[in-house]
Amino acid sequence: MRELVEELRRRQADSLLLGGERRVERQRQSGKLTVRERVDLLVEPGSFEEIGQLASHAHTPVPKIAGKRTPADGVVTGFGRVDGRTVGVVSEDFTVLGGSVGGNNLVKKRRMVELAGRDQVPLVWLFDGAGARTDESVGEGLVPMHHFMEIARLSGTVPQVCAVMGPVAGDSALIAAMMEFIVMVRGTAMLAAGGPPLVESATGEVVGKEELGGSDLHCRISGVADNQAADDAEAIDQIKRFLSYLPSNAYQYPPADGCDDDPGRTEEGLAEIIPQNRRRPYDMYRVIEMVVDRDSFFEIKPDFAKMMITGFARLNGQAIGVIANQPKVMSGSITAAAGGKHRHFMDLCNAYHLPIVFLMDTPGVMTGPKSEQEAALRVGMTIAHSFAYARVPLFTVVVHKGFGYGACAMGGYGAGQSSVLAWPTADFNAIPLESGIKAAYRADLEAAADPAALQAELESQFTDLCGAFPAAEQVKIDDIIDPRETRPRLIAALERALARRRMPAEPVPRFGVMP
């Protein structure tokens, strides 16, 4: 027995050496932490329970890999605690065969997906792998679908989050794209179906990693990833913060946090934030910061579709989602990208029982040839599906513009809200007033001696019919409020709505065929 225990200790110690001193040094020179340093940074000290530490590569006759040393088969898996809660961890080791996915490597990953689903704990992936291990895949043909299906079934049941920390391609890139929160490390991360050599072989195109699938491309242009981080440590910090707003699973409600911010706090700055010239933009981030608990706003996708703001925050310690228009970017119009960003975030909040606050100021869905080419109509209507199946409390504050379907998408009248409030600056219409008059009175304007004067006269006549007070008279909103009272009014409505929560919590059923 003693000899067997000593052999166990020897093998465990060998596994801790990763791919060897030379490859570990190369990892550090490229600005990356090692796989075990990342795990130690994520979980609380002494809490990590590793699974599959002594795994090695699958037996293969291929000479290049047969008999090769592959500690943990290039992926560290197990469970640890983050902020006192258990999470599963899958962390790829680039020092072992480039973190590539071999047979046993995939078995370990599938085992973690199975256990995370069975034990209902969040699953954190730290990606740094080069896709399928071709040596073990020779002659296999089709890539198996089962592990993608298993991950898909977990969606909306337990949080699945990841950090892309190196050049990730193939199978690992596909799994990363399925996650509910994706943070990429700037400068070292790449996310692509195939790396530069594969691209050159397939298309003849010579392309660099950053241009092919860097963090700026995916966080700013494609929207595949959510947030960027300066380094591994910041990426892990963002993952921890993301998880802090969510329950461990959809059978629980989000954890409340202690709040030292006065729930009755009013903000004088809110009364002055809308410019006298209503055509001038303002910064919606200032509204968010003055309404939610101080320093609680955590933005998701800050670089993508900037006309739409999405993120987590807290109101009197309770976790909420915030969806807001940004008038400083395209006047807050809802483009195809903005609609997709809105829909995905709303579904995320609904899955994990986070109430949603909408801050509305939009002229509607973006129109024009480019917008139609991007399918803004179809993407915008996916938001209707999110509202149709929403089970969380919804709250709307109309700050300024609420036009057409754009207003509907931002929690307009009849969306099942617990509260619909409007500032006195609110402006409602089917389309922007100026455009509506030009369409309805086109012949009159063309025949007028002074079209500009007639346009101004008509706008003046209709303005009084489109504001907050006519909406209140027709009971299209619940109340007009002093902007300074936005925070206490939302908190009061939130406390009332949270009283309806049923115990225990249950996952939200998913129905329908989304456009």
* Single-letter code of the amino acid located at 61: P
Number of CB atoms found within 10 A of residue 47's CB:
14
Per DSSP, the three-state class of 463 is helix
Average pLDDT over residues 264-273: 95
Average pLDDT over residues 276-298: 94
- Is there a shared CATH topology between the 2-244 domain and the 268-426+467-498 domain? yes
CA distance 10 to 253: 44
User: Using one digit for the tens of pLDDT, what is the confidence trace for 208-226?
Assistant: 888 998 999 999 999 999 9
Residue 142's pLDDT is what?
Answer: 47
CA distance 13 to 258: 42
Residues belonging to the chain: 515
454-469: string of b/e by CB count within 10 Å (b at 16+)?
bbeebeeeeeeebbbe
CA distance 40 to 42: 5
| CA dihedral sign of residues 270, 273, 277, 283 | negative
pLDDT at 196 over 60: yes
Average pLDDT over residues 288-302: 98
User: Using one digit for the tens of pLDDT, what is the confidence trace for 135-157?
Assistant: 666 555 445 677 899 999 999 99
Residue 429's pLDDT is what?
Answer: 76
Distance of alpha carbon 363 from its chain centroid, rounded? Answer: 24
Q: Residue with structure tokens 């970017």?
A: 329
Q: Could you tell me the residue ranges of all domains in the chain?
A: 2-244, 268-426+467-498, 432-466
Report whether the peptide linkage leading into residue 504 is cis, meaning its omega lies within 30 degrees of zero.
yes
- Which residue, 500, 495, 496, 503, is CA-closest to 256? 495
**In this predicted model, which residue has the larger pLDDT, 238 or 93?**
238
Cα angle at 24 between 20 and 30, to 5 degrees?
Answer: 155
Average pLDDT over residues 505-515: 80
Number of CB atoms found within 10 A of residue 79's CB:
20
Q: What is the CATH number of domain 2-244?
A: 3.90.226.10
Highest mean pLDDT among 81-90, 134-143, 436-445: 81-90
pLDDT at 64 over 70: no
Instruction: Give the N- to C-terminal CA distance of the chain in Å, as an integer.
Output: 62
* Superfamily designation of domain 268-426+467-498: 2-enoyl-CoA Hydratase; Chain A, domain 1 (3.90.226.10)
Average pLDDT over residues 328-348: 96
CA distance 207 to 405: 41
* Single-letter code of the amino acid located at 499: A
State the pTM of this model. 0.91
Number of CB atoms found within 10 A of residue 515's CB:
13
- Indicate the DSSP class of residue 365: B
The torsion angle over the Cα atoms of residues 174, 177, 182 and 186, rounded to 10 degrees, is 60
User: Using one digit for the tens of pLDDT, what is the confidence trace for 6-49?
Assistant: 776 777 777 776 757 888 888 888 889 999 999 999 999 999 99
